[in-house]
Chain A
Amino acid sequence: MAIFGITTRYVWFAVPIGGYLVGKYLDDQETLRMTNFRDKSMLYGGKVKPGDPPSWP
């Protein structure tokens, strides 16, 4: 069965998409790790007042 040429073989698209999601998880973990250094440098640290939201998410 094919709807607009889309057959069941297209299920294999889940594999690279799965890879994408794994990579996204890793990226997010890395971003989380980098928040350890957020707004703490001598150059940019003073710009955020205590109680303000951080400068980047």
Chain B
Amino acid sequence: MMKFLMMMIFMIPLCFMKNMFWMVQMMLMLMMFMFMNLGVKLNLFCNLSYMMSCDIMSYGLILLSIWISILMIMASENLYKMDYYVNFFLFNVIFLLIMLYLTFSTLNMFMFYLFFEGSLIPTLLLIIGWGYQPERIQAGMYLLFYTLFVSLPLLIGIFYMNNEMNCMIIYFLKFFNLNNYLLYISMILAFLVKMPMYFVHLWLPKAHVEAPVSGSMILAGIMLKLGGYGLLRLMIFLQEINMKLNYIWIVISLVGGFYISLKCFCQIDIKSLIAYSSVAHMSIVISGIMIMNYWGFIGSYILMIGHGLCSSGMFCLANISYERLHSRSLYINKGMMNFMPSMSLWWFLLMSSNMAAPPSLNLMGEISLINSLMSWSWISMLMLMLISFFSAGYSLYLYSFIQHGNYYSGIYSYYTGVSREYLMLMLHWLPLNILVLKIDYSMIWF
């Protein structure tokens, strides 16, 4: 695992050279394909070295992180054209990728905590540095303080754990069972805020609205999955206490997911709508993890991967419109079918993936999650029906609002999609719909 870490570290000086924008992206692509060739297919930890390792769960998420980083660079061509601190941007992306790589691959709980929080800094810099509006400072503060407020309990929880078990190795957690309310709350709250759970989700729409496209992509694509990854890893030694308390989180998530999908219909900002739809999806993921059965775990994992690709693609689409109309308002982004007919195909494909239409990963994940939730309690069927229905509803709403109708009369000039954008969208959509053909890799890790 040191191989790829060193590869990324050696890329850092190249970020500060002139005209290295696409070169760095291609180096990341090279790394992606080298990493794919590791071919981890085991639910055991492989490639052990220096307290780093990956099993199939971290392998999938590391692949997703590298992929999203590549696409982030691809989506931010405007920065390169305008030479808007592009070197520091590249450094930021690589630094974020290193943090994510270490978070997903480390075996030590404390190191996990360190890199988990460390990934916050480059995200914050992305928002504050490359955001569009003055309100981005406030959004950055929200992001920082929501996450930090609950991360100190996590740190104390990890120290307590070390004191009790004399062990911080993630692999050995399965030999322990700590039945302690305070520890439980302090351990999971940090991840629930990161996911985010309903009630503590307010930082997410704010951060998305103020972030540049790359910030939104990494935020929706990976940062939300950090919470899910942490929960999936930690739940193993909190099983007993979780069985007593899980209904709290499941109920909050299911009811909250329904409210949030209704809130999606009230949005007038495309990015904010996509951000709220992320919260709705993540609420089903939280309930799947909290139920702690096989289908819940794999469903959450699959939905996390699927949602990472899908929502990141939708943020790309929102940015493509934004670059042309300089507005994200739903009232101005209308009648797009007249302007970019080919782009409306991609809107359709990504929106249909977002509403869990076949053959996307989201469908597979939602089927597993619905099964697991139904096995927990049949009453959850009511909320699941509503969430599924309204998630299809707001996807259709967004699609038809943007694509149909009369276009905004104030448009002065316009240009259609360029091949970079189509390629970018294709690279979001293809893995999302092709990975489902080999879904059993995601099903063996548990």
- Residues on A facing B (Cβ under 8 Å): 9-10, 12-13, 15-20, 22-24, 26-27, 30-31, 34
> Which among B5, B23, B48 is the interface contact of A34 at CB below 8 angstroms?
B48
> Which among B6, B13, B17, B50 is the interface contact of A20 at CB below 8 angstroms?
B6
Measured as residues with beta carbon below 8 angstroms from the partner, the interface class of chain B is: 20 to 34
Inter-chain CA distance A13–B11, complex, in Å, is 9
6 CB < 8 A contacts A-B: A16-B11, A16-B14, A16-B27, A22-B10, A26-B2, A27-B3
Q: Are A12 and B30 in contact (CB under 8 A)?
A: no
Query: Given A16-B10, A24-B2, list of 7 further CB < 8 A pairs?
Result: A12-B14, A15-B11, A17-B7, A19-B9, A20-B34, A23-B3, A30-B48
Q: Interface residues of A: mostly helix, strand, loop or mixed? A: helix
Q: Are A23 and B4 in contact (CB under 8 A)?
A: yes
Inter-chain CA distance A17–B26, complex, in Å, is 12
With both chains docked as a complex, state the minimum distance between the C-beta of B175 and any C-beta of chain A, in angstroms. Answer: 14
Q: Are B49 and A20 in contact (CB under 8 A)?
A: no
Counting CB contacts under 8 A, is B435 at the interface?
Answer: no
Residues of B within 8 A of A12 (CB): 14, 17, 20, 23
Residues of B within 8 A of A18 (CB): 10
Residues of B within 8 A of A16 (CB): 7-8, 10-11, 14, 27, 30-31
Inter-chain CA distance A34–B9, complex, in Å, is 25
Inter-chain CA distance A10–B26, complex, in Å, is 10
Q: Are B4 and A31 in contact (CB under 8 A)?
A: no
Interface string of B40-55 (1 = CB under 8 A from A): 0000000111100000
Counting CB contacts under 8 A, is B363 at the interface?
Answer: no
Q: Are A24 and B3 in contact (CB under 8 A)?
A: yes
> Which among A9, A19, A31 is the interface contact of B10 at CB below 8 angstroms?
A19
Counting CB contacts under 8 A, is B1 at the interface?
Answer: yes
Query: A12-B20, A30-B49 known; A23 and B11 CB under 8 Å?
Result: no
With both chains docked as a complex, state the minimum distance between the C-beta of B42 and any C-beta of chain A, in angstroms. Answer: 14
With both chains docked as a complex, state the minimum distance between the C-beta of A15 and any C-beta of chain B, in angstroms. Answer: 5
Residues of B within 8 A of A27 (CB): 1-3, 47, 49
With both chains docked as a complex, state the minimum distance between the C-beta of B371 and any C-beta of chain A, in angstroms. Answer: 37
Inter-chain CA distance A45–B326, complex, in Å, is 67
Q: Are A23 and B27 in contact (CB under 8 A)?
A: no
Inter-chain CA distance A1–B11, complex, in Å, is 25
Residues of B within 8 A of A31 (CB): 49
Q: Are B6 and A23 in contact (CB under 8 A)?
A: yes
Q: Are A20 and B48 in contact (CB under 8 A)?
A: no
Q: Are B6 and A22 in contact (CB under 8 A)?
A: yes
Q: A-B pairs with the 5 shortest C-beta distances?
A: A19-B10, A23-B6, A23-B3, A30-B49, A19-B6
Inter-chain CA distance A26–B47, complex, in Å, is 12
Kindly report which residue of chain B lies nearest to residue A13, judged by CB atoms: B27
Query: A12-B14, A26-B2, A26-B49 known; A19 and B7 CB under 8 Å?
Result: yes
Residues of B within 8 A of A23 (CB): 2-7
Inter-chain CA distance A19–B20, complex, in Å, is 18
Residues of A within 8 A of B1 (CB): 27
Inter-chain CA distance A16–B31, complex, in Å, is 9
With both chains docked as a complex, state the minimum distance between the C-beta of A24 and any C-beta of chain B, in angstroms. Answer: 5
Tell me which of B3, B26, B30, B31 has the highest count of chain A C-beta atoms within 10 A of its own C-beta.
B3
Kindly report which residue of chain B lies nearest to residue A22, judged by CB atoms: B6
Inter-chain CA distance A17–B27, complex, in Å, is 9
Residues of A within 8 A of B31 (CB): 16
Q: Are B23 and A20 in contact (CB under 8 A)?
A: no
> Which among A15, A22, A24, A34 is the interface contact of B14 at CB below 8 angstroms?
A15
Residues of A within 8 A of B48 (CB): 30, 34
Q: Are B10 and A15 in contact (CB under 8 A)?
A: yes
With both chains docked as a complex, state the minimum distance between the C-beta of A44 and any C-beta of chain B, in angstroms. Answer: 14
Inter-chain CA distance A18–B13, complex, in Å, is 13
Kindly report which residue of chain B lies nearest to residue A28, judged by CB atoms: B49
Residues of A within 8 A of B5 (CB): 23
Kindly report which residue of chain B lies nearest to residue A20, judged by CB atoms: B7
